[in-house]
Structure 1
Amino acid sequence: MKAVILAAGKGTRMKELTQEKPKPMLRVQGRPILEHIMLGLQAAGIREMFVVTGFKAETIEEYFGDGSRWGWRLHYGRQVVQDGTGRAPEVAREFVGDSPFLLTYGDILVRPETYQRMRERFASGDYAGLLTVTAGEDVSKGAVVVLDEAFDLVTLVEKPGPAQLAELRGRGLLREGGPYWYNAGIYIFRPCLYEFTARLQKSPRGEYELTDAITAMAAAGHRLAGLVIEGRWVDVRDPEVLARLEREEGAS
């Protein structure tokens, strides 16, 4: 299996920390966030990776090179126009070829064993994709994921408001009081994903949304598995999260 890592954004919420480097290159315990992710992928047997770069792309490319120092085979491509998560994987389309691939954002940290659990769950059935979920997050800031009794995807709604959550509860798709599953931003897809990203229209906020492609896949009858992330899941979204990571790691 291959991996595609989305690392094109600047990370404006990091303020002055990302003036000279992209957010995935900020360090946690001496290593860039991106390096932690790649080491976790390597532990799951994934050594061929494609990094989608954009802001300060050369910072990433110069640090990692071809990846041979770590035993990886790294490839790069630049997302010139950053118009949404639905378009970003297109940069890696030739790299993906006919292979299933793990897709992750370059600022999400999980335990290394999470990637292996994803591979095992994906291989457990005839799935076109897999998405990870976590509980306890504010779904209005991400996406709420609706799963059936087999923990396969029914649908997901990006940044749902109170009315949308009420509608899902009214249809029996969400239980009153939760838990609500939050889209954790790490996936596995077969290349059929690209059939759906190619058809995307811009969302109301003016971007091509990866979640719209996933919803379309499910609506077209493709099976997508769900998997709960166990243990650590950190969206390194702002300086406060970065500082907390340093404190927690330093105390352990």
Structure 2
Amino acid sequence: MSEDMQGHGGPVSPPSTNERSVVVCGTAGGVGTSVISALLAEYRAATSLGGASWWVDAAGNDGDLHQRLRATGDEALLRTAAGTGLLPAPEAAITDVVVHAWRFGAVPVVDAGARPLTVLPELCEPELADVTPVLVVGPRPDLLNRSREVFSEWEHAGLLRRTIVVICCQVPTLNHQALTGMLTDAVTGAVSGVVGLDYEPVLGEGTSLDGAAQQRLTAGTWSALQQIAIRTQRSVSRG
């Protein structure tokens, strides 16, 4: 981690925009955390933030999204065609990367990987009170069972009430509506909002996610991204 990403220089306030910074965590590996976080950053770059929209790779994995997004330019901060800045920060603390982005006037979407319990203490710190947490859940019975501890710990810490839950279906033959309904009923009132993302064939290909690929995304996928974006705005009433 570079020295200028370690919080030196005193307190930093978030940029004065309608959009909040976002930290996205998966309740398990392979539920779509990286793709959802990157596409949210792309959506906000295209619709509101422009180059102030950053996607921070803090998952700690050898990811390939910068290649799939066809990002180019300075390796320290690549740019997609939509203008999203891609910041690699695999070993940095979440607080450090968020504050680092704020210093540049950026509003980051941080991919924190499948580490919801590890990053929980940071998300509860006053420095990140303006950040919206997002939990990505897979609508399979085994994945929902494995997520119970995460929901319990986040609720105990008081974090769940400002969290957006995204239910991401990655299998085309999976009938997830009943499980999605059960989860929605269980967490409604305990979380800030729930957004369902149906199976997306373009994402199922596992190939490019550049502008041309994004144009092929279904209307349902764009609607889900819009819902997430709206729910991470300051103007939206929580509850």
Scaled by the length of structure 2, what TM-score is found? Answer: 0.36
In terms of Rg, which structure is larger? 1
Judging by fraction of residues, say which structure has more helix. 2
TM-score computed with the length of structure 1 as normaliser: 0.35
